[in-house]
Amino acid sequence: MQKILRKKSFPQWVKKLESYKIYAPAKNGDVWNYEAVNHSEDIDLDYLNSVLSPKKIIFPQREIFLEFSTSNDGNPEINEVLPEENPSVIFGVRPCDAKALTLTDSVFGGDFDDLYYWRRRDQAILVGLACHNPPSPNCFCLSVNGSPHSKEGLDILMTDLGDRYYVESLTEKGNKLLNLGNKFFEEPKAKDKKDLEKINLASEKKIKRRIKEIKKIPPQLKEMFDSPFWDEEAMSCIRCGICTYLCPTCHCFDISDEVLSSSPIEGKRVRTWDTCQFPDFTMHSSGHNPRPDKASRLRQRILHKFQYFVERYKNYQCTGCGRCISKCPVGIDIIEVLDKVRDYGT
């Protein structure tokens, strides 16, 4: 289903979606992030990219699994806690971040469906916004099977045509949303389609960064596991969690019990984000750490994204959003690292 929506009608359409919980990019100080919105007029789609991707809505940094306590008769009591039933719409999703969710889908799905992830995922409708201008100078989606107007993973894709949006519904869920605001949409004319094509072409040209000959990288990485290259590359790494916590595709977590009271027992079992970049991520209870230094941890990040994931899921575990490049406090640049990997030893 393809439609045209006048920009001034956008808030009115959103108002029709009141039965949904609405999320959109919001500015706090200098940073944009996805937040729940109460007034449709507050949505500002004139933003670059958010610091954290919408991953944080589907796979929140903290998820309560269950609550435990001792009941009056002294028996343990366990209550499962599930994400609330609350259909949501996320506006302004960048194509790279939508694609990233298709990647975390394969991790939290497959042989075993992660109940918590899927409850949130199934309830969310993703309304994308094509990038007519790359939101970051470090965008490189074109190198990793993406594009600034990719529809993958989205329910609706909106494209800014100046005074109006080109709105394309891609799924049943998307159709439902459009139908709710039926009277605000117009049929696209030939000129709209032409404008859309022009914008899409132009947006691709504006993406400056590339990983060249990316196909050579996974086999090359396989050869480089024991290479001294990683020691050199990791010299400036400070072992913080920025690259992985901000990455829309990273999905590692830890499960722990938060004990509020030990007598009588009361507490919660929670899942929280974790990262391969923290030293304690691989620490065994014996004290042995198989990834003992930052070189082995940087290697893990790169190999997971560009070798292991490729071997297992036939896709890169990176959608080229550029966050890890822009926000690394010491300027480690995944494109530079991969360029060096590709050319290593030649």
Partner 1 sequence: MVNLEDLKKEAKRILEEGKIKYIIGYERSPNGMMSMPAFIKNPEDAERLTWDPSCVYNLTRFLVDEKRRKAKEKKPDTRPVAIVVKGCDSRAVVVLLQEKFINREDVYILGVSCEGAGVVDEKKLTEKLKGKKADKIEFSEKDHFLITSDGEKIKIPAQEILAERCLECRANFPVIYDEVLGEKVERRPEDPFKSIERIESLSKEERWAFWKEQLDKCIRCYACRSVCPMCYCDECVVDTISFAVAADTTAEEKAQKIKWIERSPDSSENFVYHLVRAIHLAGRCIDCGECERACPLDIPVRLLNKKLEKEAKELFDYEVGFDPEKPSLASSFKDDDPEDFIR
Contacts to ligand SF4 by CB under 6 A: 246-249, 305, 318-324, 334
Q: How far is the CB of 174 from partner 1 (least distance, A)?
A: 31
336 binds, among ligand SF4, partner 1, none (CB under 5 to 8 A by kind): partner 1
Q: How far is the CB of 316 from ligand SF4 (least distance, A)?
A: 8
Segment 52-91, which members bind partner 1 (CB under 8 A)?
A: 52, 61-62
Site membership for partner 1, residue 182 (CB under 8 A)? no
Q: Integer distance in angstroms from the first to the last C-alpha of the chain? A: 50
Q: How far is the CB of 137 from partner 1 (least distance, A)?
A: 7
# chain residues binding partner 1, by CB under 8 A = 45
Site membership for partner 1, residue 35 (CB under 8 A)? no
Are residues 186 and 163 in contact, defined by beta-carbon separation less than 8 angstroms?
Answer: no
Segment 95-154, which members bind partner 1 (CB under 8 A)?
A: 137-138
Site membership for partner 1, residue 262 (CB under 8 A)? no
Site membership for partner 1, residue 195 (CB under 8 A)? no
Instruction: Please say which residue, 46 or 172, places its beta carbon nearer to partner 1.
Output: 46
- Name 336's Cβ contacts closer than 8 Å, sequence gap at least 6: none
In terms of C-beta density within 10 A (0-12 exposed, 13-18 middle, 19 or more buried), how is residue 46 classed? exposed
Site membership for partner 1, residue 233 (CB under 8 A)? no
51 binds, among partner 1, ligand SF4, none (CB under 5 to 8 A by kind): partner 1
Site membership for partner 1, residue 240 (CB under 8 A)? yes
Angle at 139 between CA 102 and CA 340, to 5 degrees: 100
Site membership for partner 1, residue 265 (CB under 8 A)? no
In order of 276, 314, 323, 337, the CA distances from 341 in angstroms are 20, 20, 20, 6
262 binds, among ligand SF4, partner 1, none (CB under 5 to 8 A by kind): none
Report the C-alpha gap between 173 and 121 in whole angstroms.
12
DSSP-derived 3-state class of residue 315: coil
Are residues 129 and 93 in contact, defined by beta-carbon separation less than 8 angstroms?
Answer: yes
201 binds, among ligand SF4, partner 1, none (CB under 5 to 8 A by kind): none
29 binds, among ligand SF4, partner 1, none (CB under 5 to 8 A by kind): partner 1
Report the C-alpha gap between 170 and 109 in whole angstroms.
22
Report the C-alpha gap between 296 and 129 in whole angstroms.
37
Q: How far is the CB of 286 from partner 1 (least distance, A)?
A: 6
Stretch that binds partner 1, among 24-32, 66-74, 121-129, 154-162 (CB under 8 A): 24-32
- In sequence order, the β-bridge partners of residue 31 are 28
Omega into 54 within 30° of 0, i.e. cis? no
DSSP-derived 3-state class of residue 80: strand
In order of 154, 165, 284, 286, 327, the CA distances from 95 in angstroms are 8, 16, 38, 43, 20
Site membership for partner 1, residue 238 (CB under 8 A)? yes
Interface contacts to partner 1, rule CB under 8 A: 28-31, 51-52, 61-62, 137-138, 209, 232, 235-236, 238-242, 245-246, 254, 256, 258, 270, 272-275, 278-280, 283, 285-287, 294, 325, 327, 329-331, 333, 335-336
